[in-house]
Structure 1
Amino acid sequence: MPTARYANGMMLLTELKQGNTGSKLYIESLANVLAVHLLRNYAVDKPVVPIYQGGLTQRQVLPVLDYINEHLHQEITLADLAALLGMSQFHFSHQFKLAIGTTPYQYLLQQRVERAKHLLKQTNHSITDIALMCGFNSHSHLSKQFRQLTGMTPRAYRLH
């Protein structure tokens, strides 16, 4: 039975092979998990990777959420978000998950789908245009993520 670390490594490999640039934040998150695992378990002089508790403060979270909301239509990387708070990507990702309850990548996807839902109901833009306006790299990328989060396609949602 594969371990979680093996599974993370395989997910990273799959994402890299697909060349899906719309999931750069996801790829960076997986790479960080793999890097920490390698450092913790295979480094000659094992570094101390601190474990933090409590998550980001509200004062730290709000500018990050604002940044995500203002830049949904653009590529957002883990490095961009961590830089807002002057943190390492790993530390930021961990603290963000403690504070919000989900990873930065999952939060970003949720917000993009929410924006898409709003645009589907409030505008007559094509689904492809909405996908691009919400930061997805294609109609199919939006459809896949939309279906996973809502249980229906963007077209079905618009008609519903």
Structure 2
Amino acid sequence: MDYIQTHLDRDLSLAEVAGVINISPTYFASLFKQAMGISPHQHVIQQRVEKAKLMLKRTNLAIADLALQVGFSSQSHLTQQFKRITGMTPKQVR
């Protein structure tokens, strides 16, 4: 969890995260879903949205720049995932 939180701004692959604790990606994904109730990928997306939400309230960064800083590929990707999870757009939160 700490590794994911620390590296949200990077492209986190399942293999990379599983490698941190030295288990296979398939086994890691299975254990993670069992423990957390969601896939590792969905957890990463949720954590990125939460970080974006905080940054929207605390900074004046352009939403496009903020999206890249929290690990989304574009403002559009951030907006899509943000709205799916929160029901609002980043602009509405700001």
- 1:81 and 2:25 aligned: no
Structure 1 gaps, min length 5: 1-64
Q: Distance in 2 between matches of 1:89 and 1:72?
A: 18
Structure with the greater alpha carbon radius of gyration: 1
Secondary structure of the equivalent of 1:136?
coil
Kindly tell me the number of residue pairs found equivalent between the two proteins: 94
Structure 2 gaps, min length 5: none
Of structures 1 and 2, the one with the larger relative CO (CA 8 A, separation 6+) is 2
C-alpha distance after superposition, 1:82-137 (max 9, x if no partner): 11121111110000111111110000000000000000000000000110000001
Secondary structure of the equivalent of 1:124?
coil
The AA in structure 1 aligned to 2:55 is: L
Identity, % of aligned pairs?
Answer: 48
- 1:96 and 2:37 aligned: no
Q: TM-score, normalization: structure 1?
A: 0.58
**Over aligned residues, Cα RMSD in angstroms?**
0.6
- 1:106 and 2:42 aligned: yes
Q: TM-score, normalization: structure 2?
A: 0.97
